[in-house]
């Protein structure tokens, strides 16, 4: 997740709440930095303030869309001015919230945007006996809740958004760790080992030289 917001206190709160909701979060404090990150890193979704130093949010969004960057973007508007929202939508925004807003609302809207962007209309994702309620972030196996750490949740959630598809090691790492986290592929293996233990062997397959794939071993 990328958060582009120049008010440090708000940026910090958003980062905390989104990390608490299971996302890996990068923060940019001006439009130029935000544009650059969104242009070069693969994000599942972006929270973009419109009033930003160096480069305004509408321009940032226009540039991303012109360059073919298609990630869902939720804009933050300072006022409930329709003209501002309309400019955001014209530039390619997917949704908006008006400041001040409930943090929970941002989380729910982002989860819905990410789910829809990966082609799922229902809030519940499943594979075999494994289910993820994307609204609450709850994961169950055969109806029994599974306790996952934040990183374990990110791995499983990402794979559940893309079942039956090979996800490369790099792609998975980018979605598990934020940009500043020092990680190596061994730590990903360790994490995957823990997730496999919790959901039962056979569901996450290692595809030699290519990556990982979530499948229902019984189908």
Pick the closer one to Ca ion by CB: 47 or 125. Answer: 47
3-state helix vs strand vs coil in the chain, percent to 5: 40, 20, 40
Is 84 a binder of Ca ion (CB under 5 A)? no
Pair 45, 75: CB distance under 8 Å: no
Pick the closer one to Ca ion by CB: 6 or 133. Answer: 6
Min dist CB 31 to Ca ion, Å, is: 10
Question: Using CB under 5 A, which of the segments 44-52, 64-72, 108-116, 188-196 binds Ca ion?
Answer: 44-52
CB within 8 Å of 24: residues ≥ 6 apart: 1, 154, 175, 176, 177, 178, 181
Question: Using CB under 5 A, which of the segments 6-14, 125-133, 143-151, 165-173 binds Ca ion?
Answer: 6-14
Is 32 a binder of Ca ion (CB under 5 A)? no
Token pair listed for 156: 């499983």
Min dist CB 101 to Ca ion, Å, is: 13
Long-range contacts of 40-43 (CB under 8 A, 24+ apart): 41/2, 41/174, 41/179, 42/71, 42/171, 42/174, 42/175, 43/1, 43/2, 43/71
In DSSP terms, 3 is beta-bridged to 27, 47
Pair 174, 129: CB distance under 8 Å: no
Token pair listed for 219: 């189908």
Pick the closer one to Ca ion by CB: 37 or 204. Answer: 37
User: Of 104, 79, 111, which Cα lies nearest the Cα of 87?
Assistant: 79
Is 6 a binder of Ca ion (CB under 5 A)? yes
Tokens 């940019």 correspond to 28
Residues numbered 131-190 forming contacts with Ca ion, rule: CB under 5 A: none
Pick the closer one to Ca ion by CB: 49 or 84. Answer: 49
Min dist CB 81 to Ca ion, Å, is: 14
Is 51 a binder of Ca ion (CB under 5 A)? yes
Pick the closer one to Ca ion by CB: 57 or 72. Answer: 57
Residues numbered 88-127 forming contacts with Ca ion, rule: CB under 5 A: none
> How many chain residues touch Ca ion (CB under 5 A)?
3
CB within 8 Å of 212: residues ≥ 6 apart: 159, 166, 167, 169, 172, 192, 204, 205, 206
Q: Quick one: which of 26, 33, 49, 84 contacts Ca ion (CB under 5 A)? A: 49
Question: Using CB under 5 A, which of the segments 46-54, 109-117, 143-151, 210-218 binds Ca ion?
Answer: 46-54
> Can you give the binding site for Ca ion, defined by CB under 5 A?
6, 49, 51
């Amino acid at each position: 997740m990328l958060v582009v917001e120049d008010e440090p206190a708000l940026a910090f709160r958003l980062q905390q709440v989104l990390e608490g909701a299971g996302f890996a979060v990068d923060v940019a404090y001006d439009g130029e930095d935000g544009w650059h990150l969104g242009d070069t890193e693969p994000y599942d979704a972006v929270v973009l303030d419109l009033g930003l130093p160096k480069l305004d949010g509408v321009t940032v969004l226009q540039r991303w869309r012109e360059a073919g960057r298609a990630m869902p973007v939720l804009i933050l508007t300072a006022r409930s001015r329709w003209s501002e929202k309309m400019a955001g939508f014209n530039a390619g925004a997917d949704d908006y919230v008006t400041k001040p807003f409930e943090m929970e609302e941002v989380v729910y809207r982002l989860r819905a945007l990410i789910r829809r962007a990966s082609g799922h209309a229902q809030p519940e994702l499943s594979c075999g006996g494994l289910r993820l309620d994307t609204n609450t972030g709850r994961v169950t196996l055969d109806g029994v809740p599974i306790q996952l750490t934040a990183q374990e949740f990110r791995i499983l959630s990402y794979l559940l958004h893309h079942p039956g598809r090979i996800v490369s090691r790099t792609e998975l790492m980018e979605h598990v760790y934020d940009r500043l986290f020092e990680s190596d592929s061994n730590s990903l293996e360790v994490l995957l080992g823990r997730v496999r233990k919790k959901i039962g062997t056979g569901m996450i397959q290692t595809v030699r030289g290519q990556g990982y794939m979530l499948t229902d071993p019984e189908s």
